[in-house]
Structure 1
């Protein structure tokens, strides 16, 4: 900073302090005062009018002039003191004439303390971006971030299951039925993804107390389901090779890469689900069948030539024999259990 700029800043600071002192001198006989905190101006006053309009215990606090004016910041300059003084006098007249109502100053009320009628009023006039930001704060406050693993899951949950749908809303637009229609245009009418989007948007609306007629967005027909395409043997083998031989451009291979390839191979050969693969009872040691007189050798035991396994899942226990094709046991190196 040059000497000229330093002098200018000092003069500006002196003018501001003088203006603030004069303003508070004017307000000395009023129930409102002005103060400056970290470069922003605030009004201070006491009232026994509660946020819901009832009367109760008197409380005093300071309130941002910037929020009152609808700007990002009301800096500490002499010009802004004059503006703040004018607003303070208006507020004082309302307090003295008993016409003050928090309905006219709802932007000063903390979100958690908003009465229902003001929450509805504010939400209907808030832009989508602001509503999403508040909803994100609520999500963060109600999910587990106590450990790195929990924080990862919670963060991923927001990024994968909430944000993609909420971002379809018009950023600077008002959250209403038109905004919802605009967001849903990105999805097919009878798709499950659209139903997920409606669910997330409904959660946003419910949190902010916005009443929406969701019936008009629901699809009454049967939801479309994607028809699975059966993979060829060549594609299945290529999939395993891609996992096994994957080499990142930077850094080392994942320590779980061999495990991923093994899991893929077992699921491909036996037609298992992932949890059924993890529940194989005779993977590395013999297993006695619980209902019949049969002892199964371990999966990786050479005597288990048919590679019979015993596992269980959501549909119950089952004996899985003769994997197809049997040659894939060696091709996918499945006997080398990670």
Structure 2
């Protein structure tokens, strides 16, 4: 139990498992029953036996509670009006309120074999957050798990439940079925391949040699490279944002290629007069601390970003307390504002346009990838179209230069 609670602490959650009268429960900061913003330490009785199987099921319930809190859907009614060991059901939801979030990893009510996946997948979740690399960035790790792992593990549990078999094993055929359920060359298929690949490594399950090839194929050149806004279009669209605070957020993303949530997790002091204008993305962001330079540099003045360094201007008031929100929710708020203002581009279009700009001016891929907070492999795959064109153009220019040097007066040697 202590080891499990240490792993939970490393994952960044305040919830813990506890044993009371030989039964398992949860204890930690939970939404106030009176509806205030306070989160006093409270208990949830699960009615599960204090056994290895009970602990696995309790971890599953803890994940349900944590997800409901993150989504703002937690309700004490779901936990007080139910049999002791049962999971909350849709019937327990008060009229007019949203249904509780589905089980994070296994489908409630499925066959016994599918339900048997719950301890296995709950163990994978614990191992994910126990990784020392994840522990250094708990907020980013929670966001990654919620957006990049949990949906695909749910799909796995759903397909396992649909098999109708009494027992279901996580094997290569099942993983292949999950992967093939996503469209070819789609972002979701690529992410599914990464998530299931991590699960396979956790289970020491060898994957086919062509797994990466089958799960890959997504690139910006496939998805939307033809629709990326030009620099002129980016400067034109800012006029469609009436709120000056959101114009500054837009300007930061355009000038620095920031992720949605990174706008609110940056040290902006370098934007003040005399500063070097190099932003420091804080360690609490998705991929940890990194520095990023402006491209185009003159956009700092064009968007009026100097005021953010001086303190004379402010960004939108968005909750950034990661005890009460998540990086994903902060990023979602930005995307919602783009839609609200009717912008024909997404926040990530600004990020992609920044990356393409660095390619055109010849910034090394390793440097650009570091500024964007992702690996060189992801950078190369995502921006393959422009990188290939740049490299080919450089090779052609070099060849033509040699040709001109070997042929004085502009004529080729016989």
**TM-score when scaled to structure 2?**
0.32
> Which protein has greater RCO, CA pairs closer than 8 Å, 6+ apart?
2
Q: Larger C-alpha radius of gyration, 1 or 2?
A: 1
Higher percent of residues as strand: 1
**TM-score when scaled to structure 1?**
0.38
